[in-house]
Structure 1
Amino acid sequence: MVIEIDARGLGCPKPVINTKKELDKIENGIVSVTVDNSIAKENILKLSKSLNCEVNVVKEEVGFIVIEIKKGENTVVEVKKENELEDSCIFISSDKMGLGNDELGEVLMKGYIYTLTEANPYPKHIVFVNSGVKLTAQNKATIENLKILETSGVEILSCGTCLDYYGLKDTLEVGSITNMYNIVDIMKNTSQTISIQ
């Protein structure tokens, strides 16, 4: 059985995520992935090796790379457990990821929120403060993915003071409004807090 994936034109991390999804579906077989850049190629090679799959680049031209991944008896692929939550909190304090170019930061944050929907286990809480609250009230792409997480049991919380500051309290589209006392309580009582800036 050969499953073919055309991941050309897809931004990071979608080529990897789409490949992982197809590998998860089969016990034995071949997944053939076509990508259009070396970064996607390297990411898929790393994924395949991390899953103990046999992987080969079977064709490589400018803008056209075909990678063949063979999954067999020795492959270890993590089974995705729906609705499994980890005792952790993700703390997001900006609508952009990293320092430097703002446009790039917005792309990275959008990609991060999307990738959270594809990575299990989900965290119990995601807390948004400062300009991070724009991701729950203004950014349609992130709101859509945050709703997926919320449906799976993740608590999505936005700082009320921050929503007020940006004039967004009446436009919150996902999750609920919280306060600093509750934020501190969550961060103190979860096993791990991951800060994204």
Structure 2
Amino acid sequence: MKNKVILVSSHQLGRGDEALGESILETFFTILKQKEELPVAVFCMNSGVLTMTEESLVSVHLKEMEDKGVKILACKTCADHFAVTEKLTVGKISGMDYFIELASKYEVLTIS
């Protein structure tokens, strides 16, 4: 995952059963945080910003990755839309301009 940015565009992984999708996304980050090479950043947009709140089990894994130096970022427009700006327990608010800057420097892996 070195030199990659993970784009999280949903609070679940895959389509179909929502609870299953949330569980699969949590498993993804549980395994990812244990890897020696971590991504440069995780950028959350659309309902992906919900993973940065205490309501999501993913937030615990994102916090551990943040503690290891991974930038955890939430799209400002998306956080405002879902009214979670004040509820984020990990990461910080960012803009699309910064995501575009990251995407121009690193490979983007999209989780949706």
TM over 0.5: yes
Instruction: Indicate yes or no: 2:3 matched with 1:119.
Output: no
> Can you list the C-alpha shifts for 1:144-173, whole angstroms capped at 9, x where unaligned?
111110011000000011010001011111
Determine which structure has more spread, i.e. the larger CA radius of gyration: 1
* 1:135 aligned partner: 51
Matching residue's letter, 1:87: N
* 1:140 Cα deviation after fit: 4.4
Counterpart code for 1:154: V
Shift of 1:125: 0.6
Partner of 1:195: 110
Which structure has more RCO (C-alpha within 8 Å, separation ≥ 6)? 2
Higher helix share: 2
Identity of aligned pairs, percent?
A: 28
Following superposition, the deviation at residue 115 of structure 1 comes to 1.1
**5+ residue gaps, structure 2:** none
Q: TM-score, normalised by structure 2?
A: 0.94
Larger proportion of strand = 1
Compute the RMSD of aligned alpha carbons. 1.2
Q: How many residues are aligned here? A: 112
**Equivalent position amino acid for 2:7 in 1:** F
Give the Cα–Cα distance (whole angstroms) in 1 for the partners of residues 20 and 61 of structure 2.
19
Gaps of 5+ in 1: 1-84
Aligned counterparts of 2:50 and 2:108: Cα–Cα separation in 1: 21
Runs of 4+ with deviation above 6 angstroms: none
2:21 is aligned to 105
Q: How many angstroms does 1:121 deviate by?
A: 0.4
